[in-house]
Structure 1
């Protein structure tokens, strides 16, 4: 996740006067884990971003734009949403490939 999204999430939380623990509880994660989201130190998947957007009563696209009140056509939203889904799918595929490579290395090491 880019630090700018984390900064936006933090700004939204502060605008509403909500403590970190409130958002962390709604996301069912620890306070340090949520803090890492706000500071950009952790990667966040689309599902988590959707949860965060829902908590703030925003569209997912609003988290990626400069202004939460930006009006966007439903077509633009659909395009961005589909791009996000595609990237998430690519990440999952790469993770599966990495697991397979690790398993092959482990099997090769065991047979040597």
Structure 2
């Protein structure tokens, strides 16, 4: 079992969930989830994102096995930066929609 798999198992057990509970939340089969926990299957970014949301953690926290103060500070900084990036992404999408709307108006 790899480190990520151990961490996922620990988080699952901490929530009192069985493998079926998590597999259903991730919309995958129980054997597929078992392979993730046992390190048989590599986890892609999309699945990491699902797992982090499921356990209410950042992706960095998902990999973290330490609860040291220094690590927590780094995680807070990363979470802050991630939040700011998400805000900027929303702004970009809004601006793109405005451009599309203006383009449509010009071509009526």
TM-score bracket relative to the smaller structure: 0.5 to 0.7
Aligned to 1:16: 15
Aligned length: 78
CA distance in 1, matches of 2:77, 2:64: 15
In the superposition, the TM-score normalised over structure 1's length comes to 0.61
- List runs of 5+ in structure 1 lacking aligned partners: 79-112
Cα displacement (A) at 1:74? 2.5
Cα displacement (A) at 1:64? 1.5
CA-based RMSD of the aligned residues comes to 2.5
Q: Indicate whether 1:74 and 2:69 are aligned.
A: no
Is this contact kept in 2: 1:3–1:39, CA < 8 A? yes
Larger radius of gyration: 2
In the superposition, the TM-score normalised over structure 2's length comes to 0.63
- List runs of 5+ in structure 2 lacking aligned partners: 82-108
